[in-house]
Amino acid sequence: MRTLYIHADFMEFEVKKPTPMAESITDQQKTGRMEEVLVAFITVEKNDQDRVEAVASQASADIIETAKKVGAERIMLYPYAHLSPDLSNAETGKRMLKEMESIVSGEGWDVHRAPFGWYKAFKISCKGHPLSELSREIAGEEKVDAPKGEERFIVLLPDGTEIDPKDFKDGTECFQIMMGKEALKKEWPATGEVKYTRLCKKFGMNWESMSDSGHMCFTPKGALMFDLAADYSARIVNSILPVYTVKGTNMFALDEGPVAEHAKLFGDRLYTIKGEKRDFVLRYAACHQQFAMMRLWNISYKTLPFGAFEVADSYRLEQSGETMLCFRTRRMNMPDMHVMCKDIPESEEWFSRLDERIYEEAGKLDRDYEMLVNFSSWNAYIQHKDMLMEIVRKHNKPALLHFYPEGINYYWTVNIEYHILDDMKRAREIGTVQIDIGNAQRFGITYTDEEGKKQYPIILHTAVIGTIERYLYMILDTAVQMEAKGKVGTLPTWIQPEQVRFMNVTDGHLAKAKELAMKVQSAGIRVSLDDRSETVGKKVREAKQDWVGYAVVIGDKEMESDNLVVFDRAQNKNVDMTLAQLIEKVRSEIGDMPFRPMYMPMELNRRVDL
């Protein structure tokens, strides 16, 4: 903000005509005159848009101090767009002037605010003493609530016992490592070889060298796995409760109050974009878009609870040295669901249901979670302790509780981060669920209760399987740990890029191999045909290297018989079966999981070398 102060014998103005951004005024507000007045000509700038309250407070205090210093009896606030070329938008300007009028009048001053957005004629008589003309540039430093005390950690046992982490020696290896890192501030164990990246490369998941650090690209196999996981995330949430699936933009204007307030929580982890007239932030979850939509929805208590869902491309400016393929990226894809609940008890009920589903999804991959439970305050812990005890007893395992420093007004009360222990012996967060008590009011989301009154819902945030990338990370890490136990690494059949591959011995066997491949494909199975002029030995080796679920060689025997010799990767051996039995086996393993056709040609002879 830029201001020009003039201490005047009098100041009078008369509006002439409105600009397109003019505020509505009465006939009485079209003229004004004050005597013995400090006139503050005010230009609101673009940089003020995300800190209106702070700038208004600082500017008002300076105006009042100056008025006292020069002996002015009154104050006039005069919007004046000519002190800077870098103007804010009109809404911010109006809001700023109104906020300053409220602050100054609240301090007992006789204050008059000239209308915003009108062409005006004015007359002023400047007193001419050394302090009668002054200019100011107001930066508006934010006042941040000072935290009281430090963060705290305790271990909560299923019987309700609370233990200092320094004294807790039980629990799983994952729990001890998670507790050591989070509560005891220990360094991670030595990493050793990072094995999962070999599988990332195998399935076409890489960093994009022509983009910013932390941005991934997916070649056809990886893209197929990604889309199948995204399809599955949508299927999960739709099986839990009624869900409204939406799609939206990934950038939001920082001059929108709710966006600016929410963005402050992430500080320098945000991507910002300077537009022609407005500055924007890239969303870091689906919150902005879903909340922007839901504030316009006509919601009744009869429709609660319900979910809103989007697989949202989200952006977080992670430190470049800490980025990890699939696990820690700057662009991620969040299968984000928000559940609207009418009150705290209902939110706790659905929080517990989501907790069950999060554990269930990990269990399908033969993984287990440990819980890091974050509380915004000790009071939040007391409020939700019964719910948490029910969760801890249900899983029959301890939880690590983390208490944020008191004194900060967070929008949430409790969230759980669900951690697995990966092959590198590091606790990695995958799923999450959170109770949000602030964003409904911030964004203006309401529902009509039984008495016809408007109420603010409680919002649950959840990513049941984590980001799409982290879910793939868990799948790949599971395969790596299979190999560490001496097993053959494999993927769940439903997400294998190639579920079945046929290979011909000679050109004379090609037609039969293609015929069988087409029959398998028509059954809703991803099938490839290695029709290259290579030896059978090389084809079989490459099928195993490509982690194909089932590989079948077609030679003379198969030309004359319905029996096939099928290499079953999961069993790491050849199995005799008919084509019908092969189809039945693969389909039974896919079950009702999502299906998509291959993202590349069936015939290997037609594929480019990726």
Domain formed by 152-249+284-476, architecture? 2-Layer Sandwich (3.30)
pLDDT at 398: 98
Can you tell me whether residue 427 is helix, strand or coil?
Answer: strand
> What's 428's DSSP letter?
E
pLDDT at 86: 83
Going from the C-alpha of 350 to that of each of 41, 311, 460, the distances in angstroms are 54, 21, 8
Beta-bridge partners for 432:
417, 463
Contact of 449 with 302, CB cutoff 8 Å? no
- Tokens in use for 34? 């004050």
Element (H, E) at 70: helix 52-70
**Cα distance between residue 519 and residue 507, in whole Å:** 20
**Cα distance between residue 558 and residue 134, in whole Å:** 96
Contact of 460 with 348, CB cutoff 8 Å? no
pLDDT at 140: 67
Neighbours of 4 (CB within 10 A): 17
Q: Letter for the amino acid at 282?
A: L
Better-scored residue on pLDDT, 456 or 130: 456
pLDDT at 289: 93
Better-scored residue on pLDDT, 206 or 88: 206
Q: Is the pLDDT of residue 148 over 90?
A: no
pLDDT band at 267 (very low <50, low <70, confident <90, very high): low
Q: Is the pLDDT of residue 553 over 80?
A: yes
Question: Model pTM greater than 0.85?
Answer: no
pLDDT band at 231 (very low <50, low <70, confident <90, very high): very high
Tell me where in the chain the CATH 3.40.50.800 domain(s) lie: 493-606
User: Order of strands, edge to edge, in the sheet holding 454-455?
Assistant: 299-300, 447-448, 454-455
**Cα distance between residue 286 and residue 280, in whole Å:** 15
Q: Is the pLDDT of residue 214 over 60?
A: yes
Going from the C-alpha of 431 to that of each of 237, 418, 520, the distances in angstroms are 13, 5, 35
Q: Which CATH class is domain 493-606?
A: alpha beta
pLDDT band at 133 (very low <50, low <70, confident <90, very high): confident
Residue 108, φ and ψ in degrees, nearest 5: 90, 10
pLDDT at 150: 83
Beta-bridge partners for 427:
421
Burial class (CB in 10 A: 0-12, 13-18, 19+), 34: buried
H helix runs in 364-404, sequence order? 378-395
Contact of 400 with 164, CB cutoff 8 Å? no
Element (H, E) at 269: none
Tell me where in the chain the CATH 3.50.80.10 domain(s) lie: 2-137
225-247 average pLDDT score: 98
pLDDT at 141: 57
Contact of 394 with 358, CB cutoff 8 Å? no
Q: Is the pLDDT of residue 129 over 80?
A: no
Tell me where in the chain the CATH 3.30.930.10 domain(s) lie: 152-249+284-476
Please tell me the number of Cα atoms within 13 Å of 302 on its side-chain side. 4
Going from the C-alpha of 147 to that of each of 378, 413, 436, the distances in angstroms are 13, 16, 20
DSSP string, 173-218: HHHHHHHHHHTS-PPPPP-----HHHHHHHTTEEE-TTS-TT-EEE
From the list 472, 541, 156, 519, the residue with the least C-alpha distance to 530 is 541
pLDDT at 275: 86
pLDDT band at 254 (very low <50, low <70, confident <90, very high): confident
**Cα distance between residue 416 and residue 516, in whole Å:** 49
pLDDT at 372: 98
pLDDT band at 262 (very low <50, low <70, confident <90, very high): confident
DSSP string, 310-364: EEEEEE----GGG-BTTTB-SEEEEEEEEEEESSHHHHHHHHHHHHHHHHHHHHT
**Cα distance between residue 66 and residue 138, in whole Å:** 14
Element (H, E) at 568: strand 563-568
Contact of 56 with 102, CB cutoff 8 Å? no
Better-scored residue on pLDDT, 142 or 42: 42
Better-scored residue on pLDDT, 15 or 262: 15
Can you name the CATH fold of 2-137? D-tyrosyl-trna(Tyr) Deacylase; Chain: A; (3.50.80)
Burial class (CB in 10 A: 0-12, 13-18, 19+), 500: buried
**Cα distance between residue 258 and residue 235, in whole Å:** 31
**Cα distance between residue 554 and residue 326, in whole Å:** 38
Contact of 300 with 447, CB cutoff 8 Å? yes
Going from the C-alpha of 116 to that of each of 3, 38, 51, 505, the distances in angstroms are 15, 18, 19, 83
- What is the tens place of the pLDDT at every residue in 356-407? 999 999 999 999 999 999 999 999 999 999 999 999 999 999 999 999 988 7
From the list 336, 329, 334, 289, the residue with the least C-alpha distance to 314 is 334
E strands, 101-181, are 110-113, 118-126, 133-137, 152-156, 162-163
Q: What does pLDDT average to over the chain?
A: 93
